[in-house]
Structure 1
Amino acid sequence: MVSENGVIKTECPYNKFGKSKFKSSQISIDDVMAEIAPFIEYYNNERTKQSLGRLSPVQFLEQN
Structure 2
Amino acid sequence: MDVFQGQNILSFIKELPNDESCKAYLAKIKWSEGFICSKCCGTKGCEKSGYNYHCYGCDHVESATANT
TM-score (ref. length: structure 1) = 0.31
Return the structure number with greater strand share. 2
Return the structure number with greater helix share. 1
TM-score (ref. length: structure 2) = 0.30
